[in-house]
């Protein structure tokens, strides 16, 4: 894995703006503009095997998934679409699946159907600043949970904040929370993509719980960890693309909730250590990099804290202690260029 993938976006050009960030990358880097631009996005709907963590028995695993990808290879999650309010977003969606797919965006009327084997281009105007989920909304969410989802992040005009008048931050991150049932993948792999239509959502029995597509212990990497210096703050765009409640619990410091499903909190903001999220929820939170108030002895040097999901299944899967669980690191008080030994 690359040490860190800085993907610069937002540079306007005559040909339009490239607005995609890899789906496993948490860091979102943005340069505000004073004008709307055209953002061209190429996404393929593809199917294939996605590697999963080997687990306590060290047996390599993978699961068959349906994916939105920025190339022809399976990719979980779909690429993050980064744009600015008022931008024209042109999406070219190449559906290589044997079934129709849908590109729908939460909280908007955007809902495009692309036939099996078809290639289609559609456009929309970037909605109000905030965090959205794009997803295939068919079959009571089964298609989304099978992997057809990604984040749409809309920045405000001329401002590097999550919304106009919102709090400032040093870096922004996307954390996609998800859970997987490999038995569903086996069904699709054996019986074809059409089998997704007959999967009963009630049969969902997840055994992998992921952050940006990774399960613990693979979640301790630069694509998932939060890192910052004392005095800085991170904006975390949390999305729940999975099929169950996720309850990320932040250790070290509490987070300030700034937006709940794109409803911005402009007055006093609640501080929370647990942010419970239903499927398809989006929450923006600010994590302050400061010495935790209850740190003893006084913290010196880099301090490492966990974020983990308090939903029971994520904690006890594969026998406890988090293998396959939703868990990441928070590193306070150092340059992101170096990482402490665990
Ligand atoms: Cu906890």
Distance 164 CA to ligand 1 centre (A): 32
Are 110 and 133 in the same domain?
yes
Given 107, 134, 159, the domain boundary residue is 159
Residue 338 lies in a domain: no
Are 21 and 82 in the same domain?
yes
Distance 232 CA to ligand 1 centre (A): 23
Residue 164 lies in a domain: no
**Is residue 235 reached through a cis peptide bond, with omega within 30 degrees of 0 on the bond before it?**
no
Beta bridge mates, 46: 67
Edge-to-edge strand order for the sheet containing 327-332? 226-228, 327-332, 303-309, 248-250
Domain housing 40: 8-159
Helices (H), the chain: 142-145, 182-191, 312-316
Distance 254 CA to ligand 1 centre (A): 11
Are 134 and 214 in the same domain?
no
Q: What is the pLDDT of residue 192?
A: 96
Residue 166 lies in a domain: no
**Is residue 217 reached through a cis peptide bond, with omega within 30 degrees of 0 on the bond before it?**
yes
Distance 50 CA to ligand 1 centre (A): 28
Which structure tokens are listed for 316? 């006890």
- Residue indicated by tokens 């060290």: 58
Distance 316 CA to ligand 1 centre (A): 13
Are 318 and 182 in the same domain?
yes
Given 105, 124, 159, the domain boundary residue is 159
Are 201 and 125 in the same domain?
no
Q: Identify the CATH number of the domain in which residue 272 sits.
A: 2.60.40.420
Q: What is the pLDDT of residue 54?
A: 67
Which structure tokens are listed for 207? 């055994």
Are 212 and 282 in the same domain?
yes
Indicate the pTM of the whole model.
0.90
Residue 132 lies in a domain: yes
Q: Work out how many domains the chain is built from and give that number.
A: 2
Closest CA to 21 of 70, 92, 59, 72: 70
What is the residue-wise DSSP string for 222-270? TTT-EEE-TT-EEEEEEEE-SSS-B-EEE-SS-EEEEEETTEE--SSPP
Are 108 and 34 in the same domain?
yes
Distance 247 CA to ligand 1 centre (A): 9
Q: Who contacts 125 (Cβ-Cβ below 8 Å, separation ≥6)?
A: 86, 87, 88, 89
Distance 238 CA to ligand 1 centre (A): 17
Closest CA to 283 of 269, 263, 305: 263
Residue 113 lies in a domain: yes
List the chain pLDDT tens, one digit each, 342 residues.
333 333 333 333 334 576 888 888 888 989 999 999 999 999 999 999 998 876 667 777 899 999 999 999 999 999 999 999 999 999 999 999 999 999 999 999 999 999 999 999 999 999 999 999 999 999 999 999 999 999 999 999 999 999 999 999 999 999 999 999 999 999 999 999 999 999 999 999 998 899 999 888 777 788 888 988 888 999 999 999 999 999 999 999 999 999 999 999 998 998 999 999 999 999 999 999 988 877 666 556 778 899 999 988 777 776 666 677 888 999 888 544 444 443
Are 145 and 183 in the same domain?
no
Residue 109 lies in a domain: yes
Are 120 and 184 in the same domain?
no
Distance 305 CA to ligand 1 centre (A): 10
With beta carbons less than 8 A apart as the criterion, state whether 219 and 177 touch. Answer: no
Given 159, 194, 220, the domain boundary residue is 159
Distance 29 CA to ligand 1 centre (A): 29
Distance 308 CA to ligand 1 centre (A): 6
Q: What is the pLDDT of residue 334?
A: 58
Closest CA to 178 of 13, 2, 309: 309
Residue 165 lies in a domain: no
Q: What is the pLDDT of residue 319?
A: 67
d(C-alpha 57, C-alpha 47), whole Å: 27
- Residue indicated by tokens 């992921």: 210
């Amino acid at each position: 894995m690359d040490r860190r993938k800085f993907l610069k976006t937002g540079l306007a050009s005559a040909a339009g703006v490239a607005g995609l960030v890899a789906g496993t990358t948490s860091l979102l880097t943005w340069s505000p503009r004073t004008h709307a631009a055209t953002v061209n996005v190429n996404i393929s709907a593809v199917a294939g095997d996605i590697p999963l963590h080997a687990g306590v028995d060290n047996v390599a695993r993978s699961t068959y998934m349906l994916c939105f990808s920025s190339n022809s290879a399976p990719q979980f999650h779909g690429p993050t679409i980064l744009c600015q309010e008022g931008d024209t977003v042109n999406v070219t969606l190449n559906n290589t699946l044997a079934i129709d797919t849908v590109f729908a965006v939460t909280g908007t009327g955007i809902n495009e159907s692309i036939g099996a084997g078809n290639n289609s281009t559609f456009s929309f105007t970037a909605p109000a600043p905030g965090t959205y989920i794009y997803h295939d909304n068919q079959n009571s969410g089964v298609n989304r949970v099978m992997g057809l989802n990604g984040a749409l992040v809309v920045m405000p005009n001329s401002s590097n904040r999550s919304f106009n008048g919102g709090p400032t931050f040093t870096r922004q991150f996307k954390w996609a929370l998800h859970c997987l049932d490999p038995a569903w993948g086996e069904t699709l792999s054996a019986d074809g993509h059409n089998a997704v239509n007959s999967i009963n959502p009630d049969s969902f029995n997840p055994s992998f719980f992921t952050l940006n597509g990774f399960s613990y212990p693979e979640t301790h990497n630069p694509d998932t960890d939060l890192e910052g210096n004392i005095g800085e703050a991170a904006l975390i765009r949390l999305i729940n693309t999975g099929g169950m409640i996720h309850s990320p619990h932040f250790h070290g410091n509490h987070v300030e909730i700034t937006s709940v499903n794109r409803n911005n909190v402009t007055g006093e903001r609640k501080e929370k250590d647990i942010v419970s999220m239903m499927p398809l929820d989006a929450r923006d939170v600010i994590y302050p990099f400061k010495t935790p108030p209850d740190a003893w002895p006084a913290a010196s040097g880099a301090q490492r804290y966990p974020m983990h999901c308090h939903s029971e299944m994520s904690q006890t899967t594969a026998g406890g202690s988090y293998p396959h669980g939703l868990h990441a690191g928070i590193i306070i008080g150092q340059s992101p260029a170096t990482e402490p030994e665990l």
